[in-house]
Amino acid sequence: MTTTELISQIKKKKSFLCIGLDVDLEKIPQHLLAKEDPIFEFNKAIIDATHHLAVAYKPNIAFYEAYGIEGWQALEKTISYLNEKHPDIFTIADAKRGDIGNTSTRYAKAFFSDLNFDSITVAPYMGEDSVVPFLEFENKHTILLALTSNRGAFDFQTKKVDGEEVYKKVLQTSQTWKNHYNLMYVVGATKAEYFAEIRKIIPDSFILVPGVGAQGGSVAEVCKYGLNENVGLLINSARGIIYASSEENFADAAAEKAKELQQEMESVLEKM
């Protein structure tokens, strides 16, 4: 998907909501466990109930790998369902990959060519040659971890090297790489006070913002300095939406939570 298509979907739906499909069999409604593929049934119900409110879905791959071959099959079915039924929706493989170039090319093939995700999260730690293989895919997006939502972000990302924070170096240096226009970045919603600085370095890039809902981040705080003229944000919530209820009405309850966030986003967009 092109960035222009993503932006036009945001404008049409008046939403920049990304829903995290982080499926935990201990948290989903127990009646689904009797189905042949409970993970996919759960995802399908959530997607059917929320696709008009969200512009992106982000399955975190760990939640599928944890269930072995059955988890991987459920992931394949979920991405195929999204691509067939909702080709206008942006898909993110939250895999946080990145390895020597020869290996990164394999990761890129797996998530972009085979599974046909629009984007993947990638860790910048191994540097340029570990990221460039992902950037070679036209109309696919590499979402580089910049400043993450967790406490551990302060262990390395905010530390200074040659007088500058590491997360700033990640933003600046990655903008010099080949096909850098295929880059987006991750900045946690819990780090809202950093957005003004971040936007000085990457005014035009899209930023994926996890950490709203269960981790306590706020849409209003993120939007204050995070928005750009093309909106430029995808705000993600997983547990806060998908586990709104563990009863039979779980999909409607998820849609209600998604609607609350979408409406908050709509009122932000109206003021732009």
Catalytically active residues, by annotation: 96
Closest alpha carbon to 185 in 206, 159, 157, 170: 206
119 binds ligand OMP (CB under 6 A): no
> What distances in angstroms separate CA 266 from CA 81, 221, 263, one per listed residue?
27, 15, 5
Number of residues that bind ligand OMP (CB under 6 A): 20
- Closer to ligand OMP by Cβ: residue 61 or 163: 61
Q: According to the binding rule CB under 6 A, does residue 246 interact with ligand OMP?
A: no
The only residue of 29, 38, 71, 213 in contact with ligand OMP, by rule CB under 6 A? 213
Our finding on whether 98 is near ligand OMP (CB under 6 A) is no
**With CB under 6 A as the contact rule, which of the stretches 37-45, 76-84, 194-202, 212-220 interacts with ligand OMP?**
212-220
Does 94 sit near ligand OMP (CB under 6 A)? yes
Position 124 contacts ligand OMP (CB under 6 A): no
Tell me if 186 contacts ligand OMP by CB under 6 A. yes
The nearest distance, CB 148 to ligand OMP, in angstroms, is 3
Binding flag, residue 118, ligand OMP (CB under 6 A): no
Q: Which is nearer to ligand OMP, 8 or 171 (CB)?
A: 171
The sign of the CA dihedral 72, 236, 195, 159 is: negative
CB of 213 to ligand OMP, least distance (A): 5
Would you count residue 236 as binding ligand OMP (CB under 6 A)? yes
Among 148, 182, 205, 262, binds ligand OMP (CB under 6 A): 148
Q: Which residues contact 195 (CB under 8 A, 6 or more apart)?
A: 187, 222, 224, 225, 226
CB of 214: closest distance to ligand OMP in angstroms?
Answer: 4
Separation CA 216–CA 17 (nearest Å): 16
By CB under 6 A, residue 20 contacts ligand OMP: yes
- The residue (of 18 and 227) whose beta carbon lies closer to ligand OMP is 18
Task: Tell me: does residue 215 bind ligand OMP (CB under 6 A).
Answer: yes
Footprint on this chain of ligand OMP (rule: CB under 6 A): 20, 22, 60, 94, 121, 148-150, 186, 188, 210-211, 213-215, 236-240
